[in-house]
Amino acid sequence: ASIFDGIEKGPPIEVFALNKLFLEDTDSRKVNLGVGAYRTEEGKPWVLPVVKKAEKAVVDDDSLNHEYLPVLGLDTYASAATALLLGEDSIQIKNKNAFGIQTLSGTGALRLGAEFLARVMGRRVFYYSEPTWENHQKVFLSAGFTDGHAYRYWDPTTRGIDFDGLIADLKKAPEGAVIILHACAHNPTGCDPTKEQWVKIADIIEEKKLFPFFDSAYQGFASGDPVHDAFAVRYFVERGFEIFCSQSFAKNFGLYNERIGNLTVVQKNPATSAAIQSRMTLLVRFMYSNPPAFGGRIVGKVLNSPELRQEWMDSIKIMSSRIIKMRKLLREELENLKTPGTWEHITQQIGMFSYTGLTEAQVKILIEKYHIYLLASGRINMCGLNEKNYKYVAQSIYDAIQATK
């Protein structure tokens, strides 16, 4: 007998289970619209040329070694990441009211920020959009939060944001509640608030004394311009809010498995900076001690060099433009086929994902009959489309809708 006898499996993680099904599928028509990673026109992962260049430079740099990094990471990297988010000329950076902490990608930044809020500050209540990235709730609950609430976000009838619902729900939040906000390219809906809507969200957060925790996993990926994509975060910070913001360089640098992220902290009192950093240091020390170096060296090198940074911006444009083009092709084809329903939302939504509005029954048909893999919520990754398969996908969506009428 083993002491582990009787341990039961936990529930599968949908997106990884779906990917496994896709890999095992031998049908030549198969299409993967599930996993949240960029794919080229040929359906392949993409190592950005500038990342390759920076990787080589890091490997060849004899001044570098494998000594431990500081607990809060590589400062040249974390400062560059914070400046990318807040702007090089951010007054909060100048005043030393903002700083970055290198984390284990975006998830690690969310976890560290949530640990701090729960364990150091005793916060228990958090709000997440309905729907949201499926890991938000789990990360916050694992970090010590106990009381998670949804705020309305998606309106299935308009296939856009339920803004009145969102405001009504935030108004109900108790003082001190932590509000998770997607900085841009909302996952899974692809719908971001307008500038005017952000102003109203900020008004409520200020009035009700809530704490905004931004999640920035797609800076540059939404519009192709990192400055444009940082609008919401910069607006809050310029308005004087204290915030946390998790940043991920998984998507916009294609560094998924290097686990390179940053937690940007903006706070009003420069005198408390050292105390916050000290408590963060202890949280990291007890979780994983200190972060890995390679991803931070790459991103730091690129962001800190004007030429490499420009190359990176060019690559972001290539990725975001390809996504926008696929949106256009898919929508046109669905409309050409006279697929029941309206399809403007496909091109109105931004970022990697589209919330199609397909029902669970339709998704099941797409997977089982057409070998097209997508989440049960109807979320598709636009990068899974290319000029060779978009017509097949549109026709299959048409058929799935007809079959469930």
* Known catalytic residue at 251: yes
Which residue in 229, 251, 312, 343 is the catalytic one? 251
248 binds ligand PLP (CB under 6 A): yes
Pick from 224, 261, 295, 351 the residue near ligand PLP by CB under 6 A: 261
Query: Taking contact as CB under 6 A, which single stretch among the options 70-78, 100-108, 278-286, 376-384 is the one that binds ligand PLP?
Result: 100-108
The upper half-sphere exposure of residue 27, i.e. CA atoms within 13 Å in the direction of its Cβ, equals 14
CB-based contacts of 63, cutoff 8 Å, min separation 6: none
Residues in 185-214 at the binding interface with ligand PLP, rule: CB under 6 A? 187
245 binds ligand PLP (CB under 6 A): no
* Rounded-to-5 percentages of helix, strand, coil across the chain: 50, 15, 40
Smallest separation, CB 106 to ligand PLP (Å): 3
Pick from 107, 339, 381, 396 the residue near ligand PLP by CB under 6 A: 107
CA nearest 190: which of 13, 333, 381, 19? 381
* Known catalytic residue at 133: yes
Pick from 32, 34, 36, 400 the residue near ligand PLP by CB under 6 A: 36
Pick from 215, 229, 258, 333 the residue near ligand PLP by CB under 6 A: 215
217 binds ligand PLP (CB under 6 A): yes
- Crossing angle of helices 294-304 and 75-86, in 10° steps, is 50
The mark string for 56-95 relative to ligand PLP (x by CB under 6 A, - otherwise) is ----------------------------------------
Distance of alpha carbon 142 from alpha carbon 262, whole angstroms: 19
250 binds ligand PLP (CB under 6 A): yes
Distance of alpha carbon 40 from alpha carbon 277, whole angstroms: 40
Type of residue found at 317: K
Which residue in 133, 154, 312, 343 is the catalytic one? 133
* Known catalytic residue at 198: no
106 binds ligand PLP (CB under 6 A): yes
**φ, ψ for residue 283, nearest 5 deg:** -60, -45
262 binds ligand PLP (CB under 6 A): no
Distance of alpha carbon 260 from alpha carbon 107, whole angstroms: 10
Integer CA distances (angstroms), 282 to 107, 292, 312, in order: 18, 17, 34
Query: Taking contact as CB under 6 A, which single stretch among the options 74-82, 103-111, 189-197, 297-305 is the one that binds ligand PLP?
Result: 103-111
Smallest separation, CB 327 to ligand PLP (Å): 18
**φ, ψ for residue 196, nearest 5 deg:** -65, -40
220 binds ligand PLP (CB under 6 A): no
113 binds ligand PLP (CB under 6 A): no
Supply 197's token pair: 């809507």
Which residue in 198, 215, 301, 343 is the catalytic one? 215
Smallest separation, CB 259 to ligand PLP (Å): 7
Residue 107 or 354 having the CB closest to ligand PLP:
107
Query: Taking contact as CB under 6 A, which single stretch among the options 82-90, 104-112, 119-127, 203-211 is the one that binds ligand PLP?
Result: 104-112
Residue written as token pair 């931070």: 296
Pick from 116, 126, 133, 373 the residue near ligand PLP by CB under 6 A: 133
Chain mean position to CA 15: 15
Distance of alpha carbon 263 from alpha carbon 250, whole angstroms: 14
The DSSP annotation for 55-76 comes to HHHHHH-TT---PPPPTT--HH
Residue 133 or 343 having the CB closest to ligand PLP:
133
CB 82 within 8 A of CB 99: yes
Residues in 168-187 at the binding interface with ligand PLP, rule: CB under 6 A? 182, 187
Range 261-292 burial, b when 16+ CB lie within 10 A, else e? bbbbbbbeeeeeeeebeeebeebbeeeeeebb
Size of site (CB under 6 A) for ligand PLP: 12
Catalytic residues, by residue number, are 133, 215, 251
Positions that interact with ligand PLP (CB under 6 A): 36, 105-107, 133, 182, 187, 215, 217, 248, 250, 261
